Amino acid sequence: GEDVEQSLFLSVREGDSSVINCTYTDSSSTYLYWYKQEPGAGLQLLTYIFSNMDMKQDQRLTVLLNKKDKHLSLRIADTQTGDSAIYFCAEEAGANNLFFGTGTRLTVIP
């Protein structure tokens, strides 16, 4: 099946930029997503990118998509302590199904 991979942990200092990376396998994905999960909570959609785009910016969030390498990244500018959470990338691979990566736990150090 589809395989979506992320590194498990990332620590950054408050005010720095965070970059969370993700690789996926299904080249036919139409949408790719970034979700945020805070402790004990469900997932919150942060942003998404359509597969024919290279970049999307939304306030402090920048998504970069390298379709050739099947690589997706999420950059959070001026990272704040409230950004500490688990971030999941997900690809939509047919039949409206989402396949999630393992999640990256972002820790922001004050």
Partner 1 sequence: GAVVSQHPSRVICKSGTSVKIECRSLDFQATTMFWYRQFPKKSLMLMATSNEGSKATYEQGVEKDKFLINHASLTLSTLTVTSAHPEDSSFYICSARDRFSSYEQYFGPGTRLTVT
Closest CA to 108 of 83, 91, 78: 83
* Binder of partner 1 out of 7, 15, 27, 31 (CB under 8 A): 31
User: Are residues 63 and 51 in contact, defined by beta-carbon separation less than 8 angstroms?
Assistant: no
36-65 positions binding partner 1, by CB under 8 A: 40-45, 48
The pairing of beta strand 9-13 with beta strand 104-109: parallel
Pair of tokens at residue 27: 């080249």
Under rule CB under 8 A, residue 95 binds partner 1: yes
Closer CB to partner 1, 14 or 37, in the complex:
37
Query: Is 14 in contact with 105 (CB distance < 8 Å)?
Result: no
Q: Which stretch binds partner 1 (CB under 8 A): 19-27, 29-37, 51-59, 68-76?
A: 29-37
> Which residues contribute to the site for partner 1 (CB under 8 A)?
1, 4, 8, 30-31, 35, 40-45, 48, 88, 92, 95-103
